[in-house]
Amino acid sequence: MGGGADDAAGSPAKTFQILDLFSAERPVWSTASIIDAVQASRSTGYRYIKTLHDAGLLTSVRNGYYSLGPRIIEMDLQIRLTDPLLLASDGVLEGLVDTIGHSALLCTAFRESVLCIGEYRAPSSPTNRFRRGQRRPLFQGAVSKVILAHLPHYRLKAIYAQHEQAIADAGLGRDWAEFRAALGTIKRDGHLVTLGEFNPGVYGVAAPVLTPQRTALGSVGVAWDEVERRDVELEQAVRAVTEAAATISARLQERQTD
């Protein structure tokens, strides 16, 4: 276990690392398990837990056991009321569902992944679809790849250096030149259609939400099962998703110039 200067130097990162331990599969952790997981000394681990508990980010469910705390719920409300990307999408996802009949998603890049930050469900939508708060890999799925294609060059260079094998496995290129070419095609098209990348027989259509500098802040996407929804017109879906992303991009730009 760590201790002394190492604990002090890594304190903020180690403290917040504890929050990443909690999941649907394991929503409750004991004090001992938390300390073991973050490899801290006993005294330092207790301090990390106390800091998070005092801030409301952890709550005690019984003696020596913790779950995520109520402050996170409060912060979720705050971000729903203040997130510029989410606010700019007001009514857009609902309109997209009304137009083409599929559930609509709003996503953004987060670390080396894509996070869903907004959703509007069609009445018959399956409950196991991608939803707010969930992450997906940066190299799979339409909502991810359209963001990836519009990231700045320096970020793409760093991403490629760290994830060369994952990029090759995703069919995005066996070297840097092929990777850039694949992303260039997505960027020129202004949208992406995928089939079966997460669920067999499920189409995904996405378009990027862009800054005036043409870098991606996020993406808008829809998905449907090709067997269950044979009435879907792919061209109509592409057009509607592209228009929705453009509307959100324009709203963001207008608010920045107000």
Q: Using one digit for the tens of pLDDT, what is the confidence trace for 97-107? A: 988 888 899 99
CATH number at residue 212: 3.30.450.40
Q: Please tell me the pTM assigned to this model.
A: 0.85
- Indicate the residue among 72, 107, 124 that finishes a domain: 72
Q: What is the pLDDT of residue 231?
A: 65
Tell me what pLDDT residue 1 has: 40
Give yes or no: residues 59 and 137 share one domain.
no
d(CA 155, CA 194): 24
Q: How far apart are CA 203 and CA 194, in angstroms?
A: 6
Query: Reduced to 3 states, what is the DSSP secondary structure of residue 140?
Result: coil
Residues 139 and 201 both lie in one domain: yes
| Count of domains observed in the chain | 2
| Same-domain status, 125 and 200 | yes
User: Which domain covers residue 19, as residue numbers?
Assistant: 5-72
CA-to-CA distance for 190 and 92, rounded, in angstroms?
18
d(CA 179, CA 191): 17
If asked whether residues 89 and 43 sit together in one domain, one would say no
Q: Six-digit token pair at 139?
A: 């190299």
Beta carbons within 8 Å of 149's beta carbon, 6+ residues apart = 183, 184, 186, 187, 192, 208, 216
pLDDT at 137: 92
Query: Which of 35, 50, 72 is the last residue in one of the domains?
Result: 72
Task: Give pLDDT, residue 196.
Answer: 87
Enumerate residue ranges in the chain where pLDDT < 70. Answer: 1-10, 126-128, 228-232, 257-258
Among 15, 47, 72, the domain boundary falls at 72
Distance (Å) of CA 105 to CA 23, 69, 229, 232: 22, 27, 18, 18
**Pair 110, 228 in one domain:** yes
Q: What is the pLDDT of residue 8?
A: 46
The answer as to whether 77 is a domain residue is no
pLDDT value at position 112?
85
Backbone angles phi and psi of 67, in degrees to 5: -130, 175
pLDDT at residue 5 in the model: 43
